Structure 1
Amino acid sequence: MKIVNIGGVPEHFNLAWYLTLKDGAYKREGINLRWRDYHGGTGDMCQALRDESIDMAVILTEGIVKDIIEGNPSTIVQTFVKSPLIWGIHVAKNSEYQSIEELKGTKAAISRFGSGSHLMAYINAQNHDWNLNRDLKFEVINNLDGAVDGLTNATADYFMWEKFTTKPLVDSGTFRRIGNCPTPWPCFVIAVRNDFLNEHADDVKTILNIINNTTLEFKEIPSIDKTIANRYNQKLEDVQEWLSLTEWSQSNINKNTLENVQQKLLDLDIISQKIAYESLVLNL
């Protein structure tokens, strides 16, 4: 049985992977798919692809595009979630800051450089006409627990993370959310290491077929809202709102969308060059 290691964030977006694993869908096709949670997010997974700890990743679009351009030997094989990710902008409960504009020039907590929390801080800054060199400062906090410590102890001033994942921390009074910042593109893609893809393209196709059959009808799964609420410690009404906003994909990212991603990253000086669509994407 072929062993395939895949990584992703331990969030509600990826419940379909858990359901298909629990059902034994991959093993029935001769694939031992091993899921690994990456609490450090996209930057953590980019490194895991580079050091061959994983073969595949369910990863933020902007993060993997940046890392492939910078030499990560991986390729995007599909969009996983085609709707935007809504990033909540959070401060500590007792923070003096009440608005996004007041955060200009303060320190953002990020999981690591190259992560979504890092890249989206630039998007947010551009949205508010900040000076990208002068008005952005960063504190690496590794993960969500690190963000709680960083904001509570004032080693960082604000933190950007998916708003529904952090909602329980807002509800408990640990964080205050003072705004949102949606990604201007589909949020999650599936990336595969090139050497693995070259040798095991058929296995990757099989994995994609299985997960796509589940995401295609994910919202119709009986009581899926209650399952998500219980598993991820979410309020049912929050899960229902999230489901109404979220759309999965069963196809690859198109040229125009990828051009938009690269142009935005180039404009923000996050990447130094754009590369050909075919150097980033493979349609299996």
Structure 2
Amino acid sequence: MSPQKEFPKPPFPKQTQSLPGSSSAMKPQPDYGEDSYKGANRLTDKKALITGADSGIGRAVALAYAREGADVAVSYLDEHEDAKETQRLVEAAGRKCLLLPGDISQAEHCRTLVKKTVDALGRIDILVNNAAHQMTYDALEKIPDEEWDKTLATNLSAMFYITKAALPHMKPGSSIINTASINADVPNPTLLAYATTKGAIQNFTAGLAQLLAEKGIRANTVAPGPVWTPLIPASMDEEKVSNFGSQVPMKRPAQPCELAAVYVMLASDEASYVSGATVAVTGGKPLL
């Protein structure tokens, strides 16, 4: 079937949620690959820490990693119901799943979740910095100072703190994967703070790949386009949610499951020469 027609297309039912959003409340429900992702032992016995893995891209990646043979630590804010569903999916694949609630905008929590992951799993082979915060504003002067600070702390500073804490527990062959966005190259002006962090994530990762090459640790970025996750109805008005994804050539948003294979590839040993790259998953819309 054509990828343009295989998944739901807008218009979607009008809907809004409060942050951070719930997967179970979305219409239609996101597809995490529950019925479609087939593992091939590409990550056998690896240990992964994934932020923002209660739902959205993070849940799809956690599910795929587990079906590829990895144990997973799931970092999330306070979406306990969603996180327990991720845990159920990981454990159904026969792998360990550690739930780590807390606010990664706080530096000490970032260090704590790394310590808890290592205490439980022994090491970190794959680090996925995926959690993000965004809100929509149509004018610069409407962005509260607190909102700017929260976005940078959650999306950018947390990545620095977690990566710094994790590195002593990562051996040669390990992989760091940071979630950026098409907004790094084509910034949406109504997502100014978010887009700023995503550009910085892409730059940070490119420099990090060079710093870590001698250690045998790879660092890459995934740049999604529109993806149907709880963050969308929780951060946009109902009209934008209804038409979400219509702006890209495929005329629809990605489902989370459509991102998972890229994160698997970048984490796998087959990608041993891939570092410093940005992989676009944008429904046909090119990066600049």
Per the normalisation by structure 1, the TM-score is 0.31
Structure having the larger proportion of residues in strand: 1
TM-score (norm 2): 0.31
